[in-house]
Amino acid sequence: MNRFKESPSQTAGPYVHIGCTPNFSGIEGVYPEDLGKKMITDDVSGQRIAIRGTVIDGAGTALRDALIEIWQADAQGKFAGQGGEAGFTGWGRSPGDMATGEFVFDTVKPGRVPWHNGQLQAPHVTFWIVARGINLGLHTRMYFADEEAANAEDPILNRIEHKSRIPTLMAQPEDGGYRFDIRLQGEGETIFFDI
């Protein structure tokens, strides 16, 4: 039996943008463009939305050195590489705004994806957050506050013991899309998953 231990994680550090979004960090001419900037590359079905938010630390300060990645199904509930629409990558990466730390993803509202027993999950977007001071990338999910019926039957939401924390996973509708702030610690701490 050959088993190996996963490489231990180390923080992405303060300069993660050099490696992952070099053009954003001022290192131009090495890569033509930063990966994950465009999720919609051609005509796609579904509702176009912008997902905006900030990552906030335990002292209430917005992180300006984080890297946020998302992965989601297209409007039909299919993932890229698994029958998803050709014009949609499903994967986004944002360094956040230089001054405010706010991330923006121009995307489509995802369709419903089956759980492993075939039951449909509520529409959601998978988030992965790394930054200086985060020792192991944090996984969470963004659900849509206006999908009440689907959320009520979502298998992941239903297994959360502390119901009072579920609102931390809900993106709120706003002009042009949804807002999803991520609180690393303290009041309203976002639910993170050990998946």
Partner 1 sequence: MSNRNGFAARDRAWHPPALAPLYKTSVTRSPRFAPIGAATSLSEDTGPVFGHDILGPRDNDMITNFATPGEMAIGPRIIVQGRVIDEFGRPVPHTLVEVWQANAGGRYRHKKEGYLAPLDPNFGGCGRCITDETGRYEFRTVKPGPYPWPNGPDDWRPAHIHFSVFGQSFAQRLITQMYFEGDPLIWQCPIVGTIPSREAIETLVARLDRPGSLPMDALCYQFDIVLRGKRQTMFENRMEGM
Q: Which of residues 96-115 bind partner 1 (CB under 8 A)?
A: 113-115
Q: Does 41 bind partner 1 (CB under 8 A)?
A: no
Task: Kindly tell me which residue out of 52, 69, 88, 108 binds partner 1, with binding defined by CB under 8 A.
Answer: 69
Cα–Cα dist 21/191, whole Å: 27
Stretch that binds partner 1, among 45-53, 77-85, 99-107, 142-150 (CB under 8 A): 77-85
Q: Does 59 bind partner 1 (CB under 8 A)?
A: yes
Least Å distance, CB 125 to partner 1, is 9
DSSP code string of 118-185: SPBPPSEEEEEEEETT-SSPEEEEEEETT-HHHHHT-HHHHT-S-GGGGGGGEEEEETTEEE--EE-S
| Residues in contact with partner 1, shown as a per-residue x/- string from 147 to 176 under the rule CB under 8 A | --------xx--xx----x-----------
Short-list 24, 66, 82, CA closest to 190: 66
